[in-house]
Structure 1
Amino acid sequence: MSVDALISTYFANGRLSDLPRDHFIDGRFVPAETGNRMESFDPGRATVFGDFAAGTAVDVDRAVSSAVAGFAIWRDTAPATRCAVLMEAARLMRAEADWLAVVESLDSGKTLAEAYGDVQGSARLFEYYAGAADKLDGRSVNLGNDNAAFTLREPVGVTAHIVPWNYPSSTLVRGIAPALAAGCSAVVKPAETTPYTALMIAELLIRAGLPAGVVNVVTGTGPEAGAPLVRDPRVRHVTFTGSVQTGVGVMQAVAPNVTGLTLELGGKSPLVAFADADAEKVAEGALWAIFSNAGQICSAGSRLVIHRDLHAQVLERLVQKATALRFGHGLHNPDMGALNSERHQAAISGHVERARIRGVEILCGGQATTDPATGKGWFFEPTILDALSADDPAIQQEIFGPVLGVQVFDDEDEALALANGTEFALAAGIYTKDISTALRMARRIDAGQVTVNDYWAGGIELPFGGNRKSGFGREKGLEGVDAYTRAKAITLAV
């Protein structure tokens, strides 16, 4: 069915047929042991459009047992075969991009264009790590004597992946693709508000040739399904993306088992614009740094740290651009889609209302709203808060929505202090025509990744991850495989 037909069918019926409804364990869909189910909402209309299995520890135990058996097969599978399976998965994702993108848009609230980008990026992730599967070599070591010594890179074993709701497909694949390339198996727990594409991708991998049990998906809540998964002693590495508070809980849960851990947590990332920067480029860059995916991005440029001489002309342009953004149901492909849930909408409203009470100047937006076409859904107006102090809560706390905080500086040292002035250190952008300033600031800003004159520059070939309360470990790039392998040293006395 074409994308237009899928969209027409959905708006006519309020449902999509053939959505997966159960866990995916040992290569097939299976119901929850309890038989309990949960509802999934379309954020653009605030209505239920599907239901799925509500997992518990019993379902998790079944999935991990399957992953243990799957690992025994997959670790001994030839690297070239792993490569072929991941390449076929990429091909299938591209062939089924319409179906995956429509479901991703419906489930998350994001625009169809953004969902397509996520699906294409996920396919590229499979391709990238397919290329790594047969190149995970060890090295020979000169001990200075007649003994022979070398190292092997071995897969760590069963891995667990706790996937967030803002990027259900791409965050899933950026974790499981390197794990599979390394020879690991996986159990995935998608967010309870966005379960479907994880189930669809798991089934797609079986069609691509992955043995049953190598990737399993258990849906449900964090306490009922996520918690028993990360506590399971058979899991040898956990990859978690989410809030700082939950990440701390995951660290505590895995500690007794001494399980490996990758944490990608929050961000309050600065876009630093110097006086010599092009005002139009800064305004356009800042617009999409914060309003892409309705600001629901860990690495969003949620702070504009701008030189006083550039402030007025950039903010005039930026307000015009922000107020011109069209928002609406994701399948209608507006500029900005819905927030993922009513609860999240309320949280963002609370942040902005408290700023209003503090006397913060709100240049535009500032209100929860609905789809202008239907009066339904969970939306928030593109919002800009001006001239915030370094200690303002809107600067120090992650809002995770379409809310930009503006900070003004007078010199480079002040810009650096503001850029590094939160507990987070995930990403940063620098806008300047001076290459020396750019390189100096790029080295001094504490962040896992820094871009210059294009906030979203870079790609999957580069490592992604944060410092301080933004977490630790790196995903994407060749560094993304490191978490899923361990080095073994072998020495032969001759």
Structure 2
Amino acid sequence: MSVNALISNYFTTGALSDLPSDHFIDGVFVPSERGNRMESFDPGTATVFGDFAAGTAADVDHAVSSASAGFALWRDTPPARRCAILMEAARLMRAEADWLAVVESLDSGKTLTEAYGDIHGSARLFEYYAGAADKLDGRSVNLGNDNAAFTLREPVGVTAHIVPWNYPTSTLVRGIAPALAGGCSAVVKPAETTPYTALMIAELLIRAGVPAGVVNVVTGTGQEAGAPLVQDPRVRHVTFTGSVATGVGVMQAVAPNVTGLTLELGGKSPLVAFADADAEAVAEGALWAIFSNAGQICSAGSRLVIHRDLHAPVLELLVKKAKALTLGHGLRNTDMGAVNSERHLAAITAHVEHARSRGVEILCGGQATSDPETGKGWFFEPTILDGLSAQDPAIQQEIFGPVLGVQVFEDEEEALALANGTEFALAAGVYTKDIATALRMARRIDAGQVTVNDYWAGGIELPFGGNRKSGFGREKGLEGIDAYTRAKAITLAV
């Protein structure tokens, strides 16, 4: 069915046919052992469009047992074969991009264009790590005697992946692709508001040639399914993306088993614009740094740290651009889609209302709203808060929505202090025509990645991750495979 037919059918019936609705364990869809179900909402209409299995510890135990058996098989699969399978997974994702993108948009609330970007980016992730699968070599070591010594890179074993709701597909694949390339098996627990693409991709991997049991998906809540997964001693590495508070809980949960851990947590990332920067480029960069995916991005440029001389011209352009953005259901492919849930919309609204009560100047937006075509859905207007102090809650707290905080600086040292002035250190952007200034700031800003004159520059070939309360470990790039392999030293006395 064409993408237009899929969309038309959904808006006519309020549902999509052939959605997976059970756990995916040992290569097949299976219901929860207790038979529990959960409802899935379309954020663009705030209505239920499907349901799915609500997993418990029993389902997790089944999935981890399957992954343990799958690991014994997959680790011995020749690397070249793993490479070919991951390449086929990429091909299938591109061939089925329409179906996957519609489901991703409907499930998360993001626009169809953004969903397509996630699907094609995820296919590229499979390709990238397919290319690494047969190149995970060790090294020969000269001990200075007649002994022979070398190292091997081995897979760590069963891995667990706790996937967030803002990027259900790309966050899933950036974890399981390097895990599979390295020879690991996986159990995935997608977010309870966005379960479907994880189930679809797990089934797609079977068709690509991944043996049954190597990738398993258990849906449900964090408390009922996520917690027993990360606590299982058979799991040897956990990759978690989510809030700081939950990340701390995951650290505590894995500690008794001394399980490896990658954490990608919150962000309050600055876009730093110097006086010599191009005003139009800064305004356009800041617009999409914060309003892409309705601001629901860990690495969103949620703070505009701008030189006083550039403040007025940039804000005039930026407010005009923000007010021109169209809001509406993601499948209608407007400029900005819905917020993922009613609960999250309430949290964003509370942040902005608190700012309003403090007397913060709101240049545009500031209100929860709905799809102008239907009057339904969970939406928040593109919002800009101006003149914020370094300690203002809108600067220090992650709002995780389409809300930009503006800070003004006078010189480079103040810009650096403001950029590093939160407990987060995930990403940053620097806008300047002076390469020396750009390099100094890029080195001195505490962040896992810094881009210059294009906030979303870079790609999957580069490592992604944060410092301080933004987490630890790196995903994407060749560094992304490090968490899923370990070095073994072997010495032969001769």
Report deviation, 1:471. Answer: 0.0
Q: Which amino acid aligns with 1:243?
A: S
Q: Does 1:213 align with 2:213?
A: yes
Say how many residue pairs are matched: 494
User: How far apart, in 1, do the equivalents of 2:350 and 2:21 lie?
Assistant: 34
TM-score (normalizing by structure 2): 1.00
Match of 1:240 in 2: 240
User: What amino acid is the match of 2:282?
Assistant: V
State the alpha-carbon separation in 1 of the partners of residues 172 and 21 from structure 2: 18
Output the CA distance in 2 between the equivalents of 1:113 and 1:39: 25
Secondary structure of the corresponding residue to residue 110 of structure 1: coil
| SS of residue paired to 1:81 | helix
TM-aligned CA deviation for residue 172 of structure 1: 0.1
The Cα shift of 1:378 comes to 0.1
Which amino acid is 2:12 matched to? A
**Matching residue of 2:231:** 231
Q: What displacement does 1:416 show?
A: 0.1
Counterpart for residue 55 of structure 2: 55
Q: What letter is aligned with 2:391?
A: D
Equivalent residue, structure 2, for 1:163: 163
- Counterparts of 1:309-348 in structure 2, within 5 Å, are 309-348=309-348
Structure 1: runs of 5 or more not aligned: none
Return the alpha-carbon distance in structure 2 between the equivalents of residues 459 and 404 of structure 1: 24
Question: What is the alpha-carbon distance in structure 1 between the residues aligned to residue 276 and residue 12 of structure 2?
Answer: 53
SS at structure 2 position matched to 1:107: helix
Which residue does the alignment assign to 1:280? 280
- Confirm or deny that 1:136 pairs with 2:136: yes
- Give, in angstroms, the shift of residue 448 of structure 1: 0.1
Q: Distance in 2 between matches of 1:394 and 1:372?
A: 28
Q: Report the 3-state secondary structure (helix = DSSP H, G, I; strand = E; otherwise coil) of the residue aligned with 1:297.
A: coil
> CA-to-partner distance for each residue in 1:142-182, whole Å, 9 max, x for gaps?
00111000000000000000000000000000000000000
Measure how far apart 1:33 and its partner are.
Answer: 0.3
Instruction: For residue 272 of structure 2, give the secondary structure of its aligned residue in structure 1.
Output: strand
Instruction: Kindly indicate whether residue 403 of structure 2 is the aligned counterpart of residue 403 of structure 1.
Output: yes
Distance of 1:184 and 1:54 partners within structure 2: 26
Matched, 1:13 2:38: no
C-alpha distance in structure 2 between counterparts of 1:393 and 1:120, whole Å = 37
The aligned counterpart of 2:120 is 120
- Where does residue 67 of structure 2 map in the other structure? 67
CA distance in 2: counterparts of 1:372 and 1:7, whole angstroms: 18
Shift of 1:485: 0.2
Structure 1 consecutive aligned stretches of length 4 or more whose deviation exceeds 6 Å: none
Distance 1:415 1:217 in 2: 45
Alpha-carbon distance in 1 for matches of 2:9, 2:401: 30
Counterpart-to-counterpart distance in 2, 1:155 and 1:408? 48
Q: How does 1:163-202 map to 2 (within 5 A)?
A: 163-202=163-202
Question: What per-residue deviation string (whole Å, max 9, x for no partner) do you get for residues 38-65 of structure 1?
Answer: 0000000000000000000000000000
Distance 1:383 1:272 in 2: 19
Give the superposition deviation at 1:377.
0.1
C-alpha distance in 1 between matches for 2:431 and 2:387: 19
Task: Please report how far the alpha carbon of residue 98 of structure 1 lies from its aligned counterpart in structure 2 after TM superposition.
Answer: 0.2
Identity value in percent: 90
Tell me the TM-score normalised to structure 1 length: 1.00
The answer to whether 1:433 aligns with 2:421 is no
Note the 1:483-494 alignment, pairs <5 A.
Answer: 483-494=483-494
Amino acid of the structure 2 residue aligned with 1:335? D
The alpha carbon displacement at 1:228 in A equals 0.1
Amino acid at match of 1:215: V
- Offset of residue 85 of structure 1: 0.4
Q: Shift of the alpha carbon at 1:441?
A: 0.3
CA distance in 1, matches of 2:40, 2:239: 24
Structure 1 position 322, deviation (Å): 0.1
1:301 alignment partner, SS class: coil
2:69 maps to amino acid: A
- Cα offsets for 1:428-460 (capped at 9, x unmatched): 000000000000000000000000000000000
Aligned CA RMSD, in angstroms, stands at: 0.2
Which residue number corresponds to residue 268 of structure 1?
268
Provide, for residues 226-268 of structure 1, a one-character-per-residue CA deviation record: whole Å limited to 9, x for no partner.
0000000000000000000000000000000000000000000
- 1:371 aligned residue: 371
Q: 1-side partners of 2:170 and 2:284: how far apart? A: 25
What's 1:355 paired with?
355
- Cα separation, 1, equivalents of 2:92 and 2:100: 11
**Distance between the aligned counterparts of 2:144 and 2:416, measured in 1?**
48
- What is the distance in 2 between the residues matched to 1:348 and 1:16? 29
Q: Which runs of 5+ in 2 are unaligned?
A: none
Indicate the residue corresponding to 1:154 in structure 2.
154
What amino acid does structure 2 have at the position aligned with 1:64?
V
- Matched residue type, 1:340: N
